[in-house]
Each structure stands twice: as structure tokens, then as C-alpha cells.
């Protein structure tokens, strides 16, 4: 597809398969779903961009669950791969927003593409639109989706459309159910639709060979979803009631009055996991910070978490170029949040001793009985009479992505693990009775279980030697 606009800008894009269908459909709700790397987001962004170029004075919206994730992913793709020429020529300009107007891309013909996250909906939801694109739409709740639909009433285009792009999730996800019930049209995207990875004759490009080598390393439900494009639940999934739309929540200011807890699962070749939890006045638990990292010593993890949580309030004013307040005996440091009531750890004696030394805190041995711990977590994940579960994970809790895990296509956080956390069945078990979890990619789930067991299985954790 080659499009010329006012003889000034030429847009070249080769839509295939579902992407080509997207440019033809006028259905009011369209879901672009398929494996990772099929070009779903790129096609949707081109759809919005070309509509804005060709139709003066229309209003479009590009949205994700959080504004931060939109800026770091979707808008990077838009500026580098979709609107680069138009931005360079000044046909499209960026407006960073104001107290009255949301951030947007302004087109010389009067069209705009507003951008924002549903975590800060005030400005983006106060306007009306002709065309909306929601990226990674499985992160949204159905309330988000329906609220966005109410803003499709600008009326400059003869048709209004709401587009979602996503990798498949579990089969009962509201977005798939909406398509199954005929309320939205699903366009299934395949890897052959992406010319960056697959040539027209079906062979892989050099980039494609490298990309599929990574995808082929995936296992279980992640492979089913991200490589094969299936709306799949893991066979024997332990936490069947886990739902991103319910259990993942937007960041918020945690009151200092809430009790803090830390849980730790030790590892070096396997990930070391440290989770920071807050407990509200009703006993709900919130995972709000997580370190999930391989190839780093316990003492370095201890220093890392302290750097995240302490600041210098009285500096020695050293002029040395290598001065570091966190390592200086003459600087005064204070905590930026309450100290944890307990640091609940895996039982490795040597690692616990090292962690205690470098944190300057004692630790408590985790309750490691597996079956009752899993049952306690399952109980917390259930939605209660007040419409809420008793356990949440805050979006963006992960402090940093592990490049080695990313390269190996392995889980990089606790939420990455949950979909593939499954039961193992011992050979010869009559009726395939559930016995214990598969001991693979379970390090965050173990730390999560330690937290819930400490609160729900009786007794306060016994702390060993606060230093």
C-alpha cells in the first residue's frame, strides 16, 4: 500500500491477512488478535494514522491501560515505524498536553490523535472521537472498553470504530467472549501477515529466523498463546481464578499506616525474587514492588533494595567524584516508606545469613507446606462479597526486566508465571489426582505463597535476630 497525501508525504505499508481486512471493515468493534510478532499493533496504528491523514478534522484516540506503557511501547512504534516521515516534514507535530488539553499528535489538516492511559482517564475521556485504538487490550476491563465506546460520537467520519489489538489470553476473557457473542468482530492475525518476519513466499526473513528461535523456546500456555495464537488456559492450571482484569490494579499511593511485608525466594541461576507487600486495614494484600533477577549475588540484591528505599537527608558534602551517599558512613539516610514488619525467606541458611547482614535486618523462615499454601492463595484470589479479591498485584511492580530471561523467553515476573503454574501428576496416580506443582518457573509463585501462608495459616512469622 502506497499513499500520497498532498504530494508531501508518502506512506508505504504492506498489509497482509488480518491487517488487510482491518483496512476494509467498518464494523464498530474490531479485535486484532493473534500470536506475538504478527504486526497487530502496527496495522492498527497505520489504520489510525492514514485515517487522520486522509480525513480533515477527525479526532482519534490511541490508548492503553497505563500511560507509561503507552509511551514506552506503542508510541515508540508510532513515531519510528508509522509517522516518521510525516513528523519529519512537519505534517504531524507533537503536543505534550496542558491543563486543559490531553497530549496528542496534531495533523496539518486539523485532525488529531489523542494519546493516554485509562489509569489517568480525565482528559482523554472528556472528548469525543471518530476512531479509537486500544493496544494490549486484554489489560483493559470491560468497564474501560464500554466507557471508551461512549466517546465514539464525534461524527466527522461517516463511521466510528473501536479497534483492539492483543495477544490471546485465557478462553473466558471478556474480550474473546464479546467476539464469540457477536458484539465485536475478531480478525485473527498470523505470523505470515508480518513482512518484517515472513517473506511473501512464506520463508523467514533474517529477523524472522531470530525471532521465531526465541518463540520456539517458550513452553506451556505461553507457547500456546504467543507462538500458536490460541486463547488457551494451561492444562492443570493451579490458580484458575486469576484474572488480569481483576487482580492487576493501577499504581496508587499506599498509606504509611499499612503494614509492609517482604518475601524472598533465593536463586542465582534461577531467579532471585524479592516481593514487597502492603496489607490494608481489611487484610487485603498488594504486591507493589518486585525484584526478579538472575546472576546477581544476594548481597547485591540487598544493596539494590536499600538503594530503592532509602535517601540521603544529611549529606557529608563530599566533593569526590566517586562519592556514594549509600556507602558513606558520614551521610544520614532515611527510609522513604515504612520498614517491613517481617522479611519472610526461603530456608537456605547461608543466603539468609548473607541477606540479614547486608540488610541489617533479621529474617523469618517461610511456611513452606505447599498444598495448604496453594489453597490459601486460591482462597484470596476469589472475589468476595464486596466485589473484590483479597490479593492484588500493582501494575509496574517489577523494578527491572532481566535481559537474560527476556533473551531466553522465560517469565520475568510473578504475573508471567501464574498462567503456566500447573499441577504435576505422579505416574500411576488413579484418576490423574493433583499432587504438587511442576517445579519450573515457579519462583515468584513460591514467594507469593510464602506471603499468604504467613498471614493466613496461623501464627506470626518468627523473626531471627534483628540486627
CATH number at residue 391: 3.30.420.280
Beta partners for residue 392, in sequence order: 286
What contacts 334, CB < 8 A, 6 or more positions away?
310, 311, 313
Cβ-based burial of 351 (10 A; exposed 0-12, middle 13-18, buried ≥19): buried
Listed residues 215, 234, 269: the one ending a domain: 215
| Alpha-carbon Rg for the chain in angstroms | 25
33 and 118 share a domain?
A: yes
Q: What is the CATH number of the domain that holds 85?
A: 3.40.50.300
176 and 307 share a domain?
A: no
Quote the number of domains for the chain: 2
Model confidence band, residue 467 (pLDDT cutoffs 50, 70, 90): very low
34 and 161 share a domain?
A: yes
What contacts 49, CB < 8 A, 6 or more positions away?
11, 78, 82, 83, 86, 113
CA separation, residue 177 to residues 141, 142, 150, 186 (Å): 13, 11, 20, 11
Evaluate whether residue 238 is within a structural domain: no
Sign of CA dihedral 164, 168, 170, 171: positive
| Residues 24-45: b if buried by 16+ CB within 10 A, e if exposed | eeeeebbbbbbbbbbbbbbbbb
Predicted confidence at residue 245, as pLDDT, reads 78
Listed residues 175, 200, 215: the one ending a domain: 215
87 and 135 share a domain?
A: yes
Give me the half-sphere count of Cα atoms (radius 13 Å) on the Cβ side of residue 453: 23
* pLDDT tens by residue, 75-112: 999 999 999 999 999 999 999 999 888 999 999 999 99
203 and 252 share a domain?
A: no
Closest residue by Cα to residue 131 from 15, 76, 53: 53
Quote the domain boundaries for residue 456: 244-464
* pTM of this structure: 0.72
205 and 250 share a domain?
A: no
Q: CA 178 to CA 140: how far, in whole Å? A: 13
* pLDDT tens by residue, 161-202: 999 999 998 888 899 989 999 999 999 999 999 999 999 899
12 and 155 share a domain?
A: yes
292 and 170 share a domain?
A: no
How many helices (H) and strands (E) the chain has is answered by: 16, 22
Closest residue by Cα to residue 241 from 438, 372, 381: 381
* pLDDT tens by residue, 260-288: 999 999 999 999 999 999 999 999 999 99
Is pLDDT of 339 > 60? yes
Helix/strand/coil for 332: strand
Sign of CA dihedral 177, 183, 188, 193: negative
Measure the N-to-C terminal CA separation of the chain; round to a whole number of Å. Answer: 67
Alpha helices in 382-459 (DSSP H): 403-407, 414-418, 443-456
450 close to 367: Cβ distance less than 8 angstroms: yes
328 close to 316: Cβ distance less than 8 angstroms: yes
Model confidence band, residue 6 (pLDDT cutoffs 50, 70, 90): low
Evaluate whether residue 188 is within a structural domain: yes
Reported as type and span, the H/E element at residue 143 is helix 142-149
303 and 205 share a domain?
A: no
Evaluate whether residue 223 is within a structural domain: no
Q: What strands lie across the sheet with 285-293, from one edge to the other?
A: 248-249, 391-394, 285-293, 272-279, 259-265, 342-345, 363-365, 463-464
Closest residue by Cα to residue 292 from 219, 400, 391, 446: 400
Q: CA 49 to CA 56: how far, in whole Å? A: 12
374 and 282 share a domain?
A: yes
184 and 299 share a domain?
A: no
Amino acid at each position: 500500500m502506497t499513499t500520497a497525501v498532498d504530494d508531501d508525504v508518502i506512506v508505504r505499508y504492506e498489509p497482509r491477512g488480518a491487517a488487510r481486512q482491518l483496512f476494509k471493515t467498518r464494523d464498530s468493534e474490531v479485535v486484532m488478535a493473534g500470536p506475538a510478532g504478527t504486526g497487530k499493533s502496527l496495522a492498527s496504528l497505520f489504520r489510525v494514522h492514514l485515517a487522520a491523514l486522509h480525513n480533515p478534522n477527525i479526532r482519534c484516540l490511541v490508548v492503553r491501560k497505563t500511560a507509561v506503557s503507552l509511551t514506552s511501547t506503542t508510541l515508540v512504534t508510532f513515531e519510528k515505524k508509522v509517522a516518521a516521515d510525516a513528523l519529519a516534514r512537519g505534517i504531524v507535530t507533537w503536543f505534550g498536553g496542558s491543563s486543559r488539553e490531553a497530549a496528542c499528535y496534531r495533523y496539518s489538516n486539523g485532525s488529531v490523535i489523542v494519546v493516554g492511559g485509562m489509569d489517568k482517564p480525565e482528559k482523554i475521556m472528556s472528548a469525543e472521537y471518530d476512531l479509537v485504538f486500544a493496544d494490549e487490550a486484554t489489560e483493559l476491563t470491560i468497564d474501560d472498553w464500554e466507557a471508551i465506546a461512549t466517546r465514539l460520537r464525534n461524527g466527522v467520519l461517516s463511521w466510528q470504530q473501536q479497534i483492539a489489538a492483543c495477544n490471546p489470553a485465557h478462553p473466558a476473557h471478556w474480550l474473546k467472549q464479546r467476539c464469540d457473542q457477536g458484539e465485536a468482530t475478531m480478525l485473527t492475525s498470523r505470523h505470515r501477515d508480518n513482512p518484517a518476519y515472513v517473506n511473501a513466499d512464506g520463508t523467514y526473513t533474517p529477523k524472522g529466523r531470530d525471532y521465531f528461535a526465541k518463540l520456539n523456546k517458550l513452553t506451556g500456555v505461553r507457547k500456546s498463546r504467543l507462538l500458536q495464537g490460541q486463547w488457551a488456559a494451561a492444562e492443570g492450571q493451579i490458580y484458575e481464578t486469576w484474572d488480569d482484569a481483576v487482580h492487576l490494579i493501577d499504581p496508587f499511593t499506599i498509606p504509611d499506616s499499612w503494614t509492609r511485608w517482604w518475601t524472598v525466594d533465593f536463586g542465582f541461576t534461577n531467579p532471585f525474587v524479592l516481593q514487597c507487600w502492603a496489607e490494608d486495614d481489611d487484610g487485603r494484600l498488594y504486591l507493589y514492588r518486585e525484584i526478579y533477577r538472575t546472576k546477581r549475588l544476594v548481597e547485591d540484591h540487598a544493596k539494590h533494595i536499600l538503594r530503592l528505599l532509602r535517601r540521603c537527608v544529611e549529606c557529608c558534602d563530599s566533593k569526590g567524584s566517586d562519592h556514594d551517599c549509600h556507602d558513606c558512613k558520614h551521610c544520614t539516610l532515611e527510609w522513604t516508606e515504612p520498614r517491613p514488619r517481617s522479611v519472610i525467606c526461603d530456608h537456605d541458611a547461608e543466603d539468609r545469613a548473607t541477606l540479614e547482614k547486608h540488610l541489617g535486618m533479621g529474617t523469618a523462615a517461610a511456611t513452606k507446606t505447599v498444598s495448604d499454601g496453594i489453597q490459601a492463595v486460591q482462597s484470596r484470589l476469589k472475589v468476595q462479597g464486596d466485589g473484590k479479591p483479597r490479593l492484588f498485584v500493582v501494575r509496574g511492580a517489577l523494578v527491572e526486566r532481566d535481559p537474560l530471561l527476556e533473551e531466553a523467553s522465560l517469565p520475568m515476573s510473578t504475573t508471567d508465571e501464574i498462567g503456566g503454574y500447573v499441577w504435576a501428576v505422579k505416574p500411576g496416580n488413579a484418576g490423574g489426582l493433583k499432587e504438587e506443582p511442576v517445579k519450573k518457573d515457579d519462583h515468584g509463585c513460591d514467594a507469593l505463597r510464602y506471603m499468604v501462608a504467613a498471614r493466613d495459616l496461623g501464627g506470626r512469622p518468627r523473626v531471627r535476630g534483628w540486627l
